[in-house]
Amino acid sequence: MNVFFTVIGFLLFGYLGFWIWYRNRPAYSVPSRFPVEWKELLQKHVHFYQNLNEKEKRRFEKNIRNFLKQVRITGIKVEVTDLDRLLVACSAAIPLFGFPSWKYNYLHEVLLYPASFDRNFSMDNPEEVITGMVGSGRNMDGVMVLSKKSLHNSFGNTSDKHNVGIHEFIHILDKQDGEIDGIPGELNNKEYAKPWLRLMRREMQRIRKGKSDIDAYAATSEEEFLAVASEYFFERPKLFQQKHPDLYKTLRKVYHQDMKRRLRNPFRKPRRIGRNDPCPCGSGEKFKYCCMKN
């Protein structure tokens, strides 16, 4: 009888282990070496990446690989391409690039929809247009939903102060202390939280009175203010500092990044890598002798 229960216990333990692995398995096999094709996609589509030096690019690429190992990206009625995966991972990596080690503890899957959707995830409701959301509840906890079209538009337009991917990942970052409340972990100490709350609420009042260029959605709640203001900070830092110097100074402290200095060069489309150019993998070899052969 003891042997019987031991076997049953062993089987149940094995099944539970398999179920945990299956739920958290990566949906995509991440290459052991960052592919040169991925580097080209980042250089072509991601303004943030374009402005990094070679050492920073390697660190950014490492962060992207780590994210893709940890979080599944699933298409809902849409194919998920390498560019889709990279843009989702960039949305996650950009806000936390100023931290030496990082991980989103409250996320295990990102669902990509072809276009906007409503709160019931229907794409046929013109009355409600949602381009991104962080799920909650039993079946959606730890899940983010993004519109693929909006994600691409966010990285294609660097002058509109908006990035839906960054916006939603700010919510996940806000939740790192256990609650989405508009107070980043860096400011949770009361000494810093009170000045931030005063600054935030004052600006929310200016938005409601039509006296601010921050998107009106930021005035709907404190958590949305943090996400919208952070989009502005990462997308248009020079203008953000000019219009909102106190907010810029605070968010620079929160994210450990001076985005005005980082995004010193305008978004540009690079020329195609030539056969005799240095290989973008950083090997020091010519492209034709290195990654071009692969």
Mean pLDDT per block of 10 residues along the chain (294 residues) reads: 52 45 56 93 96 96 95 95 97 93 84 93 89 80 94 92 96 84 72 86 97 97 96 97 96 94 79 64 62 52
d(CA 237, CA 252): 10
Residues 59, 73, single domain; the answer is yes
Q: What is the pLDDT of residue 30?
A: 87
Q: What is the pLDDT of residue 106?
A: 81
Domain assignment of residue 280, yes or no:
no
Domain that holds residue 249: 181-263
Residues 103, 116, single domain; the answer is yes
Residues 140, 24, single domain; the answer is yes
Q: Which two tokens stand for residue 105?
A: 């503890």
Residues 221, 157, single domain; the answer is no
Cβ neighbours around 8 below 10 Å, total:
10
Q: What is the pLDDT of residue 181?
A: 84
How many independent structural domains does the chain possess? 2
d(CA 228, CA 214): 8
Residues 147, 161, single domain; the answer is yes
Q: What is the CATH number of the domain that holds 234?
A: 3.40.390.10
90-91-93 Cα angle (round to 5) = 60
In total, the chain counts a number of residues equal to 294
* DSSP-derived 3-state class of residue 100: coil
Domain assignment of residue 270, yes or no:
no
249-164-41 Cα angle (round to 5) = 100
At 69, which amino acid appears?
K
Give the ranges where 75-189 is alpha helix by DSSP (H): 82-93, 148-156, 164-174
d(CA 10, CA 14): 6
Contact 224, 133 (CB under 8 A): no
Q: What is the CATH number of the domain that holds 67?
A: 1.10.472.150
Residues 137, 231, single domain; the answer is no
Q: What is the pLDDT of residue 14?
A: 47
Domain assignment of residue 286, yes or no:
no
Domain assignment of residue 283, yes or no:
no
Q: What is the pLDDT of residue 101?
A: 75
Cβ neighbours around 154 below 10 Å, total:
24
Residues 201, 149, single domain; the answer is no
d(CA 138, CA 49): 36
Residues 167, 67, single domain; the answer is yes
Q: What is the pLDDT of residue 19?
A: 41
